[in-house]
Structure 1
Amino acid sequence: MQHKSDELFQGAAPYYARHRPGYPPEFFSELRRRFDLDGTQTVLDLGCGTGQIAIPVAAAVARVFAVDPDPDMLVEGKRSAAGTTNIEWLRGDSSQLASLNLPPLDLVTMGKSFHWTDRPALLTELDTRIRPHGAVVVVTAALHDAATVAPWDDIVRTLRDKYLGARRRGGSTYRGYQHSEETHLDVLARSPFCEVDVTRSGWSIERDIDAIVGLQFSFSYSNPAQFGSDERCAAFADELREALLDRYPNGTVTEPLTIETLIATRPTSRTTTRSATPV
């Protein structure tokens, strides 16, 4: 992954594990159906966070390699996966795959992490590691869907700008938010995995006020380290909690969620001759 990847989510891991929503059952059902997951496959979950994809998918495959540059994310993931024996939690990022001694892969998943990588270079590398009929699965938030903007977004933005400034940071720099104009679909379309199916899934969850506050500390641009001190972090939390209770005095809010899933495979003509390089 680009940038100083091990500092992007500094201090965020416990909030990430508790407050980031997982993925709907339909997402995993589609992976099982599409790739005939029968307990024999090997999956790489790259940028795994605290296991929102790795843990559920482990029930359908033989092995999962859950890779993330943040050691605290891996600690939280292991804790959440207690009792699951076929996940290997590895510290690393997309630029370090060669050092991880991975076997040939059937599936690579990236849940809201693809944008942190050198996307073309990563896809070229994955072409040497994924078996002929394997795939890359990229999951993103539906960023341009106004219907899925959190109803409290204006409150959070106002206070975040007050405490952290209007320009989002990624880790200790602003580089994380100089996003490319080239979409994930564009990048995939000119990669070895150029046949792409796009689907959307929508659902909703209920959050209480403390969950909304905790969620803010799970993001790279508003994790606890961004505030510079425990005092400023606590002041932000207190002010946000008060503003949210003013708007939502009953203490609960419905959050609409939508994900976009890009399932990318090689052209059919290539899968008959392509083989993954043993490692």
Structure 2
Amino acid sequence: MTFEPASSSFPRFASTVRHYVAGRPNYAQALIQTVADHLHLTKQHRLMDLGCGPGWLGIAFAPRVGQVVGVDPEPTMLEAASALAATAGVDIEWIEGSSYDLGPQLGRFRAVAIGRAFHWMDRAATLRTLDALIEDDGAVLLFNDVRPDVPQNTWYKRYSEVVDRFTNRSVGFAPERLRHEALLLESAFSQLSRIGVIEQRRVPVERLIDRALSMSTSSPEQLGALTDQLVQDMTTEMAPFASDGHVVEVIESQALIARRR
């Protein structure tokens, strides 16, 4: 398949919001609590959810801290985040902006949590900026999820192959870039530890389709008329692995905790 390269003003996630909310796997609540305990978070602390998307991290941490500020450059993501926060009954300050807009006007934070967004940032520059915003005993928290190589996840290879067939690689970030750990070890936040929580979940195939369409490289805005073809191919390829329209997913929610030495 061939694609036209996206322009520099291409709204990476504008067309993906509903698919993102429906399809991306949320982080394990047990992981959120473990990280909060690890950092001794209390109502005296402030937390930033940077690159917050629909605000899942901020919403999860909100009952455990005094204030949460969510920052994201995509207005439609912030609209979704605001709606989800209202449903959860938590009060969060949402700010339209990016890592380039961080500054002392935001105040100081015990922790800055970043989900699947750090790779979009100038990571070294962002860490230098955060050094001035995070309290002396605070932390940068990088959240991610991985799938262990277990029989329940056999379907995932086929899922990834379908997504790859439709991926516009001119939009994504360079795969050869250094891992986050390498950048952190050269930053002020060089004391690293990782916490993981493994869960088994039943996921509707429809949500896997949403997950594929939530990616900036295979969004409806990128695919256009090919969107229906992705839906058809994914439905066909997942059928042998599905039971009652669901697959079993074993997922490990991870938090990389970076603190000063």
Same fold at TM > 0.5? yes
2:178 equivalent to 1:182 = yes
Q: Please list every run of 5 or more consecutive structure 1 residues that lacks an aligned counterpart in the other structure.
A: 268-279
For residue 155 of structure 2, what is the aligned residue in structure 1? 152
Tell me by how many angstroms 1:151 deviates.
3.3
Shift of 1:155: 3.3
Residue equivalent to 1:195: 191
Local SS of the residue matching 1:75:
helix
> Runs (4+) of structure 1 moved beyond 6 Å?
none
Q: After TM superposition, list the pairs within 5 Å mapping 1:220-239 onto structure 2.
A: 220-229=216-225, 232-239=226-233
The yes-or-no answer on 1:15 pairing with 2:9 is: no
Q: Contact 2:28–2:253 at 8 Å: present in 1 too?
A: no
Question: Where does the alignment leave 5 or more consecutive residues of structure 2 unmatched?
Answer: 1-6
2:237 equivalent among 243, 268, 271 = 243
Partner of 2:4: none
- 1:82 alignment partner, SS class: helix
Structure 1 residue 123: deviation in Å?
A: 0.6
Decide which of 252, 256, 261 is 1:258's aligned counterpart: 252
Separation of aligned partners in 1, 2:9 and 2:133:
22
| Structure 1 pair 141–5 and aligned structure 2 pair: CA distance change class (3 A) | farther
Aligned equivalent of 1:273: none
**Secondary structure class of the residue paired with 1:228:** helix
Q: How does 1:71-220 map to 2 (within 5 A)?
A: 71-82=75-86, 84-98=89-103, 101-142=105-146, 145-147=148-150, 150-162=153-165, 164=166, 168-169=168-169, 173-174=170-171, 176-220=172-216
CA distance in 1, matches of 2:184, 2:62: 25
Q: Could you say what the CA RMSD is over the residues aligned between the two structures, in angstroms? A: 2.4
Q: Which amino acid aligns with 1:187?
A: L
Using the TM superposition, give the Cα deviation of residue 249 of structure 1 relative to its aligned residue in structure 2, in angstroms.
5.4
1:6 touches 1:69 (CA, 8 Å); kept in 2?
no
Offset of 1:181 from its aligned partner? Answer: 4.1
Shift in Å at residue 148 of structure 1? 9.2
Distance 1:185 1:237 in 2: 35
Given the superposition, is the C-alpha separation of residues 6 and 227 from structure 1 closer, same or farther in structure 2, using an over 3 Å criterion?
closer
The 8 Å contact of residues 45 and 109 in structure 1, kept in 2 or not, is answered as yes
Residue deviations 1:9-36 (CA, integer Å, cap 9, x gap): 2311111112212111221212221222
- SS in structure 2 of the partner of residue 234 of structure 1: helix
- Figure out how many residues of one structure are paired with residues of the other and give that number: 254
Aligned counterparts of 1:30 and 1:74: Cα–Cα separation in 2: 26
- Which digits, 9 at most, give the CA deviation of each residue in 1:162-213, with x for residues without a partner? 4x35xx43xxx34x23134422111111101111112222112101221221
Give the direction of change, closer, same or farther, for the CA distance of 1:216–1:134 in structure 2 (3 Å limit). Answer: same
Tell me if structure 2 keeps the 8 A contact 1:5–1:70.
Answer: no
Q: 2:192, 2:258 → 1: CA distance?
A: 4
Which residue number corresponds to residue 70 of structure 2?
A: 66
What's the % identity of the aligned pairs?
27
Paired residue secondary structure (1:128): helix
Partner of 2:51: 47
Could you state the TM-score of these two structures normalised by the residue count of structure 2?
A: 0.87
Aligned residues of 1:140 and 1:260 also touching (Cα < 8 A): yes
Amino acid at match of 2:102: L
Give the 3-state SS of the residue equivalent to 2:217 in structure 1: coil
Q: Which amino acid aligns with 1:25?
A: Q
Partner of 2:3: none
